[in-house]
Amino acid sequence: MSERHDDLFWRDRHEPITESDAFLREIVEQAELPPLLVALAAATGETAGLTPELRPPLTPVNTVGHPHGGMTAEQQASARELAYEGLRRLRDQQITTVDTLPDDTVTELLDYLTDGRRAWADSLKHELDLAADKGGAPDWHFAELAGGRPFDVLIVGSGVAGIAAGHRFSQAGVPFTMIDAADGLAGTWRKNRYPGVRLDTPTFGYSYSFAQRTDWPHQFAQGGEIEDYLLTVAERAGLSDRIEFGTRLVSATWQEDADAWEVVTRTADGDRTRLFHAVISAVGQLDLPNIPDFEGLEHFRGVTMHSQEWDPSVDWRGKRVAVIGTGASAYQIVPAIYADVASLTVFQRSAPWMLPAPTYHAPMSETFDWLARKVPHFGQWFRLWVTVQGIPGRFHTVRAEEGWSGAPLSVSPINQAVRDELIGRLAEQFEGRPDLLEIAIPSYPPGAKRMLRDNGVWAQALRAPHTTVVTSGIEAFTEHGIRTADGVEHELDVVILATGFKPSDYLDAIDVVGRDGVELHEFWKGDARAYNGITVPGFPNFFMQYGPNVGGVVAGSLHFMLERAAEYALEAVRELLTRGVASLDVTPEALDRFVEWVDRENQQMAWGQPYVSSWYQNGAGRVSQVWPYTNAEYWEITERIDPQDYTFR
């Protein structure tokens, strides 16, 4: 990595372009134009062509994304000419590098990509290696600020969130210990190994700002590819050897006298107690399997396994297999196994909405690969372009309109239009199977639950002659299978519980005792709340990553949210060191204000309507999982530790 660039995948040089004009003409025909134009402008220093007339309009995306951000045919034609000339120039002048850009150029290029939305600029610069003021990495070092003061941090978890925290804390030189209950890193991507596991959001929207891999094989990365990426990131960040695996956090108790958390961790060898001045919880949100309390489960003589606890030794091929659930995990398992089983029974409680994703199983295109190899920083600009489009995301399709008559099936005219379009697709996919079509149409508005990505494989699996979709409720397990409410007994050998997780049970099974002996779960009373999704009053120096209310569902980047939480926690440590105080504790007023702010917006969304229910809500009925704003707002609220929101001791 170049010292100057906050990117573990930084490359100084790209391959020189040697191809003919005709080849370059082909490339510009196939390329996504906005990121190519900015990449060429950055590399050649020639920005004059990026006129306001040529800006992509960022046409709102209802279902399928618009190529080139919705540029008109005329814009595309002009953009292709400009890109062609730019590629020729790279070739003729043998330009293979690009470096940090002048601030004016960064502004110009971001103005181009965002059609002038300056409010997004700072959050986007967090992602842009070429910006001199790229946000994220600490610009201070522990040794300079601590003055010999001991300060030890515990990071719990080495999944996507923990790696982000580990990297940022390590950059700042803050001493930390990292533990993980599992025997290796990568969190959810280590655990979820079921057939078909892959990303169901675009790969280029799913990586760290400080580790911008560009040679991804697939448009929607396979599970193993993401696990490999995380292993590589941890290796390059120097984290791999410093994680205590097989070590579970049992409890953390704030010791007022010591201004530290007394932490009990458990390994196969027993318990260990130690003190830490701050704790970062990076334990993940979708980690605790939801195993419904099915009657008679213990009597079933076949095999049951939860999607996350897939047992590779189970021989399911040629067997009578059932999948319970039709969420994101089931959606990947069913198409991956159906061809190899004797019979497949899918138990559906409610049907999923599926957004069209024709390239769901596709590799990155050859044009993309060529551009990423030959045009300096193209892959990173493409990643930024995905991020830009993800800021507004699909919010406009899920915002409820007051007095809308289509409830409870839709929440607004656009939401109804999306519903109609998706039903039209289902009608095509289930043509000739009215029985399946009838049960495939969800009875709730699009967006009320997480939408899946579809390229037709789900319908194909359900249409197979040996597949049965059962909508009658599960009454009980029997020795030989499952009996449903209609009295039918379905004989089965293997039952896969794709029944999801318990996302609202934050830090379940961990005792976190804060000031005055208050336990975190008692404080929450089933309704987990945290200021900015990170801090909780009465729990000083305790920071959550992917805590309550920071999960994006129709917009934004998960990595952005996790990185910002890590950076915010690190900023809090800096604040403690510079102020020379031992602890900081968020005020109850700040938390109430935050919760009121997110609740108000969530109530405007499809998932916040009183007639819908999903894992976005907790037992108290509040939407406690979802972040209802954009990345740009999260950037703003995590930019600094506001002293008015904290008490320092």
| Nearer to ligand NAP among residue 98 and residue 160 (C-beta) | 160
Choose the binding region for ligand NAP from 196-204, 427-435, 440-448, 517-525 (rule: CB under 6 A).
196-204
Q: Are 556 and 391 in contact (CB under 8 A)?
A: yes
| Nearer to ligand NAP among residue 573 and residue 626 (C-beta) | 626
Site membership for ligand NAP, residue 391 (CB under 6 A): no
| Nearer to ligand NAP among residue 129 and residue 227 (C-beta) | 227
| Nearer to ligand NAP among residue 42 and residue 498 (C-beta) | 498
Q: Are 456 and 462 in contact (CB under 8 A)?
A: no
| Nearer to ligand NAP among residue 327 and residue 548 (C-beta) | 327
| Nearer to ligand NAP among residue 327 and residue 390 (C-beta) | 327
Picking from 416, 412, 469, the residue whose alpha carbon sits closest to that of residue 440 is: 469
The string of DSSP codes covering 7-33 is -TT--S--PPP---HHHHHHHHHHS-H
Spatial separation of the C-alpha atoms in residues 207 and 320, rounded to whole Å: 38
Site membership for ligand NAP, residue 349 (CB under 6 A): yes
| Nearer to ligand NAP among residue 331 and residue 385 (C-beta) | 331
Residues 253-312 that bind ligand NAP (CB under 6 A): 286, 292, 307
Query: Of the candidates 470, 498, 544, 586, which one interacts with ligand NAP according to CB under 6 A?
Result: 498
Q: Count other Cβ atoms within 10 Å, centred on residue 557.
A: 27
| Nearer to ligand NAP among residue 197 and residue 570 (C-beta) | 197
- For residue 408, cis peptide bond before it (omega within 30 degrees of 0): yes
Site membership for ligand NAP, residue 330 (CB under 6 A): yes
Spatial separation of the C-alpha atoms in residues 496 and 501, rounded to whole Å: 14
Choose the binding region for ligand NAP from 47-55, 138-146, 320-328, 410-418 (rule: CB under 6 A).
320-328
Tokens of 646: 């904290």
Residue showing the smallest CB distance to ligand NAP in the complex: 327
Choose the binding region for ligand NAP from 143-151, 193-201, 390-398, 616-624 (rule: CB under 6 A).
193-201
Query: Of the candidates 75, 158, 222, 329, which one interacts with ligand NAP according to CB under 6 A?
Result: 329
Site membership for ligand NAP, residue 114 (CB under 6 A): no
CA distances from 320 to 104, 302, 461, 490 (A): 64, 10, 15, 10
Site membership for ligand NAP, residue 453 (CB under 6 A): no
Choose the binding region for ligand NAP from 84-92, 152-160, 325-333, 405-413 (rule: CB under 6 A).
325-333
Q: For residue 209, what are the contacts with CB-CB under 8 A and spacing of at least 6?
A: 6, 7, 126, 127, 134, 136, 559, 560, 563
Choose the binding region for ligand NAP from 197-205, 227-235, 575-583, 584-592 (rule: CB under 6 A).
197-205
Site membership for ligand NAP, residue 350 (CB under 6 A): yes
| Nearer to ligand NAP among residue 329 and residue 380 (C-beta) | 329
Q: Count other Cβ atoms within 10 Å, centred on residue 495.
A: 23
Say if residue 158 is exposed, middle or buried (CB neighbours under 10 Å; 0-12, 13-18, 19+).
Answer: buried
| Nearer to ligand NAP among residue 120 and residue 501 (C-beta) | 501
Picking from 296, 161, 132, the residue whose alpha carbon sits closest to that of residue 234 is: 161
Tokens of 560: 């952005």
Q: Return the DSSP state at 131.
A: B
Site membership for ligand NAP, residue 557 (CB under 6 A): no
Region of 492 on the Ramachandran plot (φ > 0 left; ψ -120 to 50 alpha; else beta): beta
Query: Of the candidates 24, 163, 199, 605, which one interacts with ligand NAP according to CB under 6 A?
Result: 199
- Number of chain positions touching ligand NAP (CB under 6 A): 24
Residues 601-640 that bind ligand NAP (CB under 6 A): 615
Q: Count other Cβ atoms within 10 Å, centred on residue 64.
A: 11
Query: Of the candidates 6, 32, 129, 200, which one interacts with ligand NAP according to CB under 6 A?
Result: 200
| Nearer to ligand NAP among residue 121 and residue 336 (C-beta) | 336
| Nearer to ligand NAP among residue 501 and residue 539 (C-beta) | 501
| Nearer to ligand NAP among residue 258 and residue 485 (C-beta) | 485
Say if residue 240 is exposed, middle or buried (CB neighbours under 10 Å; 0-12, 13-18, 19+).
Answer: middle
Query: Of the candidates 327, 335, 376, 390, which one interacts with ligand NAP according to CB under 6 A?
Result: 327
Tokens of 577: 């060191």
Angle at 47 between CA 43 and CA 50, to 5 degrees: 120
Strands 489-491 and 176-179: unpaired
- How many CA atoms, within 13 angstroms, populate the side-chain half-sphere of residue 236? 19
Nearest distance, CB of residue 257 and ligand NAP, angstroms? 42
Nearest distance, CB of residue 295 and ligand NAP, angstroms? 11
Choose the binding region for ligand NAP from 102-110, 346-354, 357-365, 635-643 (rule: CB under 6 A).
346-354
Site membership for ligand NAP, residue 326 (CB under 6 A): yes
Site membership for ligand NAP, residue 324 (CB under 6 A): yes
Q: Which residue type is seen at 116?
A: G
| Nearer to ligand NAP among residue 118 and residue 349 (C-beta) | 349
Choose the binding region for ligand NAP from 321-329, 375-383, 387-395, 487-495 (rule: CB under 6 A).
321-329
Residues 468-487 that bind ligand NAP (CB under 6 A): 474
| End-to-end CA gap in the chain | 39
Q: Are 342 and 466 in contact (CB under 8 A)?
A: yes
CA distances from 612 to 40, 395, 550, 606, 622 (A): 47, 17, 20, 8, 12
Q: Return residues touching ligand NAP (CB under 6 A).
A: 198-200, 286, 292, 307, 324-330, 332, 347, 349-350, 450, 474, 498-501, 615
